[in-house]
């Protein structure tokens, strides 16, 4: 999986006025926790943060803080302003290279479906799946080949198998499928 380096500055616990002042400087307050460590409060530049929040890709974040410490983390939760859609707060979850990591990874559809070639309509429901793997085995994306997908058939999460990766999404999660169109039904009648 790709890594994304993010530089941060340590901050102190503050009240609403202190947090508001941080946001007015173009910074986003963040929190790092996990692995039995104490919470680390820090800020990052809002423009740098968009590199991981405004993309469908999943990253391992290399947090480099101004006190010299470096952590591996994943984006756990983001909070946005309901009107302006500005990122208000980010939670990062610290991860270890040896322990399995649960993360959402995008699905990459490839191939030309046999059902579409016969006149069906392709649809995609899930754009990402939650998986679990060690850091060395985490894929950038989950390839799904739809070449043999026939009319009125679906591919579900339970149908997929990957080496050294466990799919945590429910087996009944529909990823994509091909359905008959109204024109095909009318022609058949």
User: pLDDT at position 87, please?
Assistant: 94
User: pLDDT at position 186, please?
Assistant: 72
- Residue 66 CA to residue 82 CA, distance in Å, equals 31
pLDDT category, 176, cuts 50, 70, 90? very high
How many of the other CB atoms lie within 10 Å of CB of 106?
16
- Residue 75 CA to residue 87 CA, distance in Å, equals 13
Mean pLDDT of 31-56: 93
Mean pLDDT of 49-65: 93
pLDDT category, 14, cuts 50, 70, 90? confident
Domains of the chain: 3-94 (2.40.240.10), 101-188 (2.170.120.20)
């Amino acid at each position: 999986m790709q890594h994304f380096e993010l530089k941060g500055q340590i901050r102190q616990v503050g009240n609403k006025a202190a947090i508001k002042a941080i946001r007015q400087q173009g910074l986003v307050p963040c929190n790092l926790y996990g692995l039995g460590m104490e919470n680390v409060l820090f800020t990052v530049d809002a423009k740098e943060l968009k590199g991981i929040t405004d993309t469908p890709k999943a990253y391992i974040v290399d947090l480099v803080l101004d006190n010299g410490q470096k952590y591996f983390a994943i984006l756990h939760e983001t909070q946005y302003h309901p009107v302006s859609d500005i990122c208000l707060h980010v939670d990062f979850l610290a991860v270890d290279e040896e322990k399995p990591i649960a993360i959402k990874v995008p699905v990459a559809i490839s191939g030309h479906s046999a059902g579409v070639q016969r006149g069906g309509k392709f649809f995609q429901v899930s754009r990402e799946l939650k998986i679990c793997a060690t850091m060395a085995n985490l894929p950038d994306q989950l390839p799904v080949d739809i070449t043999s997908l026939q009319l009125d058939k679906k591919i579900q999460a339970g149908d997929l198998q990957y080496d050294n990766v466990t799919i945590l999404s429910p087996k009944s999660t529909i990823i994509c499928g091909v359905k008959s169109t109204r024109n095909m039904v009318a022609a058949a009648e």
